[in-house]
Structure 1
Amino acid sequence: MGDTSPAPEGVPERLIRATVGLLAEQGPSAIKARTVASAAGLSTMVVYHHFGGIPELVRAVVDHGFTELGIAFSQVGATDDPIADLFTMALTCRRIARENPHLYDLMFGLSTRATYRPLESDERLSGHSPAFRAAHARVTDACARLVSSGRVGAQDPEVVAAQLWSFVHGYITLELGEHFVEFDDAVMQVLLPMGVNFSVGLGDTRELAQASHEKAARLYESAQPASGTSADA
């Protein structure tokens, strides 16, 4: 059994990191108090002391996921090409999803475990989480810059962000489910053209939208470790 009296500082973070690791290695069925505690080198009671139970721990893990996503979005930066910035954010989100698909599923409510009941609270919904709102604000801010740039028609950046969020996460969910295996490069054959079409629908020209997306894909790929797929992490 692990240490029963760890220093309070950092214990919740250790449990969250252990849960994230278990999700990546074994999937949501591994998220049990004893398994998490063992992976963190702690006692089972520490889980209940700091979180109250597995549902509360899962909520903290979801918040951790959105915090990490927000940090990744913040590292994209803002250039004079907001469409390229938005596509870079889409590729960044895809990378994070592929690094830990089970965590991504949990963050967006696509995965639940039969062994626990979700919290009966509006706060359990990711859309009501401060961590989610902070990450989503990065997308909304980039959409506001796009609207202000004059490349697209005047419209509510919140609506643009919701539309963008929908098609990007729809693509990621389908890709994680291996629905694009028939494509040699689904990013370049599906996601990028979909982004171009979306931008044109907002009012951009096809030529500018295509150039922005291709530029973002090139710059993103050049910044990633070597891999076998374009724009892949």
Structure 2
Amino acid sequence: MPRTLADSREKLIEAGMRLLEEQGPEALNARRLAAEIGASTMAVYTHFGGMAGVYEALGREAFARFERFLRRVPDTEDPVTDLLVLGLAYREFAVASPQRYRLMFGLASPGALPSFGHDLTIEGTPATAAEMNDAFALLPRHVRRAMVAGRIRRDDPIIVAGQIWCMIHGYVLLEATGVFGQEGRGVLHILGPHVINLLVGLGDDREAAERSAGQSLLNIEMVGAVVREPEPRRGRRPRPAR
């Protein structure tokens, strides 16, 4: 693709992400998106074939930024703490970028975003989109570390990662509706105990799980400046360690 055309496509994606965050996916349309970069609506159809292509491109870009956000969480000597910090960073992304999160998981503009999902239990990955798979891969990586450390019993790390994802995603969706308040109290009274119970069910010692859970709350604050720093420029990014 010629550089000028590529630049135009990138500008449309950036404009779309900006409109998405400011006004939600419902505000996106070809005319408004083109106007953001001083182009005609033909630019949208040239690069994306229409709004369905725009939604797909924005969904992929949102997952790519999600992965970069999660990757900023560093490893420590406690893999369970790191696993829980990753979950808290997941929640922080959803709280900080609610419109992106809605788009990524098909919670807005029903039918606009093509389904990326396929059967995790069979395929080993949650999606047909590489960007979503790259973000997910960070979770089983930490699960494997916890298994190697003897904190949780050895099992299929993909399936265990799916269980943890189900818990975090479900919590995030409920918190977004306000049922756990708006001050993060649900993290202490709902999500924290839920996490500990799941870890114990997976074979961890309850006292060790409680220590890791407490440390994760401290660590997410310590790395807060890291996970909240401005997003890096788009481009090639390293693949997650397997």
What TM-score, normalized to structure 1? 0.85
Paired residue for 1:197? 197
Determine helix, strand or coil for the equivalent of 1:150: coil
1:32 equivalenced with 2:29 (yes/no): yes
Partner Cα distance (1:223, 1:208) in 2: 22
Q: Runs of 5+ in structure 2 lacking a partner?
A: 119-125, 226-242
One of 38, 41, 53 as aligned partner of 2:50:
53
Overall identity of the aligned pairs, in %: 34
1:90 equivalenced with 2:82 (yes/no): no
Partner Cα distance (2:44, 2:193) in 1: 46
**1:60 is aligned with what amino acid?**
A
- Can you list the C-alpha shifts for 1:194-215, whole angstroms capped at 9, x where unaligned? 1111111111111111111111
Paired residue for 1:127? 127
The answer on whether the counterparts of 2:73 and 2:223 sit within 8 Å (CA) in structure 1 is no
Partner Cα distance (1:71, 1:56) in 2: 23
Paired residue for 1:152? 152
Partner Cα distance (1:66, 1:96) in 2: 11
- Range that drifts further, 7-16 or 208-217: 7-16
TM-superposed deviation, 1:117? 4.9
Determine helix, strand or coil for the equivalent of 1:59: helix
TM-superposed deviation, 1:53? 0.9
Partner Cα distance (1:105, 1:149) in 2: 35
Q: How many residues align?
A: 216
TM-superposed deviation, 1:112? 2.0
Runs of 4+ aligned residues of structure 1 deviating over 4 Å after TM superposition are 116-119, 122-126
In the superposition, relative to structure 1, how do residues 193 and 123 fare at CA in structure 2: closer, same or farther (>3 Å)?
closer
Structure 2 counterparts to residues 144-223 of structure 1, below 5 A: 144-181=144-181, 185-223=185-223
**1:209 is aligned with what amino acid?**
A
TM-superposed deviation, 1:124? 7.4
In the superposition, relative to structure 1, how do residues 12 and 106 fare at CA in structure 2: closer, same or farther (>3 Å)?
same
In the superposition, relative to structure 1, how do residues 135 and 197 fare at CA in structure 2: closer, same or farther (>3 Å)?
same
What TM-score, normalized to structure 2? 0.82
- Can you list the C-alpha shifts for 1:153-188, whole angstroms capped at 9, x where unaligned? 121100110001100000011111112128761212
CA RMSD of aligned residues (A): 2.1
Paired residue for 1:75? 72
The answer on whether the counterparts of 1:62 and 1:106 sit within 8 Å (CA) in structure 2 is yes
Partner Cα distance (1:14, 1:212) in 2: 43
The answer on whether the counterparts of 1:23 and 1:30 sit within 8 Å (CA) in structure 2 is yes
The answer on whether the counterparts of 1:183 and 1:189 sit within 8 Å (CA) in structure 2 is no
In the superposition, relative to structure 1, how do residues 111 and 185 fare at CA in structure 2: closer, same or farther (>3 Å)?
same
**2:213 is aligned with what amino acid?**
H
- Can you list the C-alpha shifts for 1:91-135, whole angstroms capped at 9, x where unaligned? 11111111221210111122225xx7554xx65777221101111
